[in-house]
Structure 1
Amino acid sequence: MSWPAGYGKRVLPEVDSTLDEAARIAGDLTGPEWILALRQTKGRARRGRDWKDPRGNFAATLVFRPDGAADQVALRSFVASLALYDACVAVTGRRDGLALKWPNDVLLNGGKLAGILLESTGQGSGVTYLSIGIGVNLMETPMKEWLEPGAVWPVSLLSETGIQVSAEEFLEALAQAYARYEAQFVTYGFEPIRTAWLSRAAKLGEVITARTATSDTEGTFETVDARGNLVLNTAKGRVTIPAADVYF
């Protein structure tokens, strides 16, 4: 497995957060850069939540200067999700049990294997730098007390497949997969990415709940639209949801 052309790589024995490191180095970069931490001491997840990072797991960030408006740049979460799916297939040789959970999680046998967090800097509608933070439970799962109420129970690649993969090995597979999907996204736009994502989507056609800070919406998961929004068929009609946590 070779490293994709045009992408930099740095492996750090320890760092507070790969997202924080990305913010520190972004201004000096001349191209996209992967940052892998063998140990992360202050990781974080969506909505400012802490991300606990047991040893042996995967914590990395890809930082680069994207083209396009902020809403289009944000669609990279789907690019990253597909890359994560393919990386898991590459290192295990299997796709059984893998699924993508809107907006940014990878499931294995119904449990949460990996998550994605996007952070960006810029002014107005433009984005100067985009950081895609990725965490994968390769070896261990976070303890129950670390989880938010109602969250999908975490699993690890090792516990579900019996396969042991190092963070460096996983990064090689992920970087290759991401480069392929990024090239597709830049060349052909979001539609082929959206189609591929939906073919791997968890609970498509089933009843789910989308929860925001102010309300819960229950409905049948119909699709993801051209802007990456979740589309539910509810008792009150079709509802489009731009951001939420999904519960099954």
Structure 2
Amino acid sequence: MSWPAGYGRRVLDEVDSTMTEAARVADALAGPEWIMARRQSAARGRRGRPWRDPGGNFAATLVMRTPGGPGQAALRSFTTALALREAFAALTHAPEALALKWPNDVLVNGGKAAGILLETVGARGGSLAIGVGVNLISAPGADAVEPGAVPPVSLLAETGLRIEPEAMLDALATAFAAWEDRLVTYGFAPVRTAWLSHAARLGEVVTARLPQDRIEGIFETVDESGAIVLKTAQGRRAIAAADIFF
């Protein structure tokens, strides 16, 4: 598989966190660059939560110039999710097992196999870091996630395939570059349509947990800003940020 033109590729044996490394090097980069680590000593997920990263799993961060402000930057969670799904399908040949969970997870047979983390980094937040973690060979136990959360799974357990991190990186980088080109050329509309075609629990009741609220409703769609739209007893609600529980 060929590497996408214009993207740098850096593979480290060990680092504290690929997100932290992206922040350290962002201002010195001439263009977008993927940073992968074979082992992280201080991995983290959304809202600073610890992310277990045993050897053999996949951890990488793409650092790129912030595209078009915070709203546009946030849309990269959708292109990254679609790229991950495409990479999984290419490597496992099991597209029917894959689904996307708003806002930033990829599911395999209903379990969480990958997560995405977006942060602004560099001087004055001039770059975007897109962190990707994939449970290639092992997943945390159910006791490592919140009650009611989607259980973690690994690609090895669900598909029987042992995928090397470097193969995952090559497939993901190639797919992401294509989705990034679509977003830049055509806007969010085709990305949104593609994402919704693979959305988990679309049309079903889900619960959105916010820091000070809990909203239950039917998952109707994702709007033009990327917010999830729920049909609730009080009317339609567009929610820009929340944890979704099934």
- TM-score bracket for the superposition, by shorter chain length: over 0.9
What's 1:34 paired with? 34
2:239 matched residue in structure 1? 241
Shift in Å at residue 55 of structure 1? 1.4
Partner of 2:185: 187
Question: What letter corresponds to residue 69 of structure 1 in structure 2?
Answer: G
Aligned runs of 1:1-248 on 2, under 5 Å? Answer: 1-121=1-121, 127-248=125-246
**Cα displacement string for residues 101-129 of structure 1 (whole angstroms, at most 9, x for unaligned residues):** 00000001110000000000378xx8510
Does the 8 A contact of 1:70 with 1:127 survive in 2?
no
CA RMSD of aligned residues (A): 1.2
CA distance in 2, matches of 1:213, 1:151: 16
SS in 1 for 2:24: helix
Cα distance in 1 for partners of 2:190, 2:114 equals 23
DSSP 3-state at the match of 1:96: helix
- In 2, the alpha carbon distance for the partners of 1:138 and 1:113 equals 8
Contact 1:54/1:142 (CA < 8 Å) preserved in 2?
no
Deviations 1:11-63 (A, max 9, x none): 00000000000001101100000000000111111111111112110000000
Q: The residue matched to 1:159 in structure 2 has which SS?
A: helix
Q: 1:19, 1:61 within 8 Å by CA — same for their partners in 2?
A: yes
Q: 2:200 and 2:9 mapped to 1: Cα distance?
A: 32
In structure 2, distance between residues paired with 1:122 and 1:157: 33
State the 1:70 CA deviation. Answer: 1.1
Question: What letter is aligned with 2:176?
Answer: Y
User: In the TM superposition, what is the alpha-carbon distance from 1:188 to its structure 2 partner?
Assistant: 0.6
SS in 2 for 1:174: helix
Cα distance in 2 between the residues matched to 1:210 and 1:232: 9
AA aligned opposite 1:88: F
Deviations 1:111-164 (CA, angstroms, capped at 9, x unpaired): 0000000000378xx851000000000000113332233221100000000011
Name structure 1 gaps, 5 residues minimum.
none
Distance (Å, rounded) in 2 between the aligned partners of 1:127 and 1:23: 10
> 1:59 & 1:50 partners in 2: Cα distance?
13
Amino acid at match of 2:147: P
CA distance in structure 1 between the partners assigned to 2:127 and 2:199 by the alignment: 28
Report deviation, 1:94: 1.7
Contact 1:52 1:146 in 2 (8 A): no
Runs of 5+ unmatched residues, structure 2 = none
TM-score (structure 1 length as normaliser): 0.97
Identity %: 61
Distance 2:100 2:206 in 1: 14
Would the aligned equivalents of 1:83 and 1:177 in 2 still touch at CA under 8 Å?
Answer: yes
Q: CA deviation at 1:69?
A: 1.8
Moved over 4 A (4+): none
Distance in 1 between the 2:122 and 2:194 partners? Answer: 29
User: What is the number of equivalent residue pairs in this alignment?
Assistant: 246
Inter-partner Cα distance in structure 2 for 1:47 and 1:166: 28
In structure 1, C-alpha distance between the alignment counterparts of 2:25 and 2:147, rounded to whole Å = 35
Q: In structure 2, what is the Cα distance between the partners aligned to 1:158 and 1:39?
A: 18
Whether contact under 8 Å (2:22, 2:121) holds in the other structure is no
With the length of structure 2 as denominator, give the TM-score of the two structures.
0.97
C-alpha contact (below 8 Å) 2:27/2:122 kept by paired residues? no
- Counterpart CA distance in 2 for 1:155 and 1:207 is 23
Which amino acid in the other structure matches residue 130 of structure 2? Answer: I
